[in-house]
Amino acid sequence: MPTEPAADLSSSEYKLIRANPAQQAKRWRLHHQVWGEGYDLTLYLRRESALCESEYCRSSLGFWILQGAHGEPLASCESYGSQAWVVDADGKLTREPMHTLASVVVDPALRNRGYAGKLMELVQEELRASGASLTTLFSDVGPQLYRRSGHMLHPARESVRRVSAGQAWPAGAKEIGLGDVADLLVPEADRQGAWLGASSVPAFAEIATVDRVTWFHMRSQYRAWARGQTPHPVVGASCAAGGFCLWTSDSADPTLHILLWRPHSGDGARRLTQAALAHAAELKLQQVVWWDADRDTGLDPYHRPALQPEGAEARDRQEGLPMVAWLDKARPMPLVWMGIERQGWR
């Protein structure tokens, strides 16, 4: 069989466009083939349409397509805008726009020709021109492709606790619904900013918002329907001993993923762990996963090594490898990354 000639990626014939609704719908069918585990196609398309209509996506989603010379789609990806506290090497604290890149996909017949790399290059140029400071992503295919676009691997660990049947909701812990989230996240953003303002090394912290948490919850609702379950309204727990945690069950694996882990004491960490396990048991999930719950940055105001989940097994993260790139390549890479712990796109 003849070998397909290599694409001339320097050609000006390649064009980056924002997808219209019809183009998005066509790409969602390809997404379903790659990331739609557990969904039938109809429910998956309903989910993607509903997510696009959410407050978060209406203000923050960019759906990008790389077109060839004749307007044919070669590759696509999504970008999700948010805000981050950023500290440069000189200790200056600023609040800056960032984007998370996701759902990078090339049609199967067109793979291994460099189209994904070209797409990343053009999307980053577009985001840089819009004023964004950095892009992040979570790679399940290894770091090599994304290193070529300037992304550096940010080592992470995860803590895992297996779920047992009959886990009871602990005394002193309270369920959190979406209506409670704003009262938690506003002081959380101020606390992050105050902490980073005292940092002496390059660092950044993504700022969690109600719209973002609502987006995760919507994904969890559709995942519950895909499993034949009734969606649960609880999105986290708070603790009388101080602190809170937020979670999502949006992934294909039977896992409760912690989004934010903010206990204020050892007793709070114990009760919040028990609450997460009880909620996971109610949803018939098998494990609860925290990202970087035990990592000692030396700068962490949340004292995660001391307040890590009780009884959890810590291990190096093997999937969803976190990566970050400054769009201004002269800036020093951050040594500390904090923010929303769960980034999953399936």
Instruction: Using DSSP, state whether 323 is helix, strand or coil.
Output: strand
Q: Which position has the token pair 């002193």?
A: 172
Specify if 53 maps to a domain: no
Tokens in use for 219?
């994904």
Helix and strand element counts for the chain (H, E)? 8, 16
Q: Are 249 and 223 in contact (CB under 8 A)?
A: yes
Q: What CATH number should be reported for the domain holding residue 206?
A: 3.40.630
Q: Are 38 and 226 in contact (CB under 8 A)?
A: yes
Domain range holding 233?
157-338
Residue 185: count of CB within 10 angstroms of its CB: 19
Specify if 40 maps to a domain: no
In sequence order, what are the residues at sequence separation of 6 or more whose Cβ sits closer than 8 angstroms to the Cβ of residue 141? none
Residue 344: count of CB within 10 angstroms of its CB: 19
d(CA 330, CA 36): 38
Specify if 15 maps to a domain: no
Specify if 133 maps to a domain: no
Specify if 11 maps to a domain: no
pLDDT tens readout for residues 234-282: 999 999 888 999 999 999 999 999 998 888 888 998 999 999 999 999 9
Domain count, the chain: 1
Specify if 297 maps to a domain: yes
In sequence order, what are the residues at sequence separation of 6 or more whose Cβ sits closer than 8 angstroms to the Cβ of residue 2? none
Q: What type of residue is 241?
A: A
Specify if 44 maps to a domain: no
pTM for this entry: 0.90
* Residue 342 pLDDT exceeds 50: no
pLDDT tens readout for residues 322-336: 889 999 878 888 877
d(CA 151, CA 225): 35
pLDDT tens readout for residues 142-180: 788 888 889 988 877 888 999 998 889 999 999 999 999
Widest distance between CA atoms in the chain: 68
Specify if 296 maps to a domain: yes
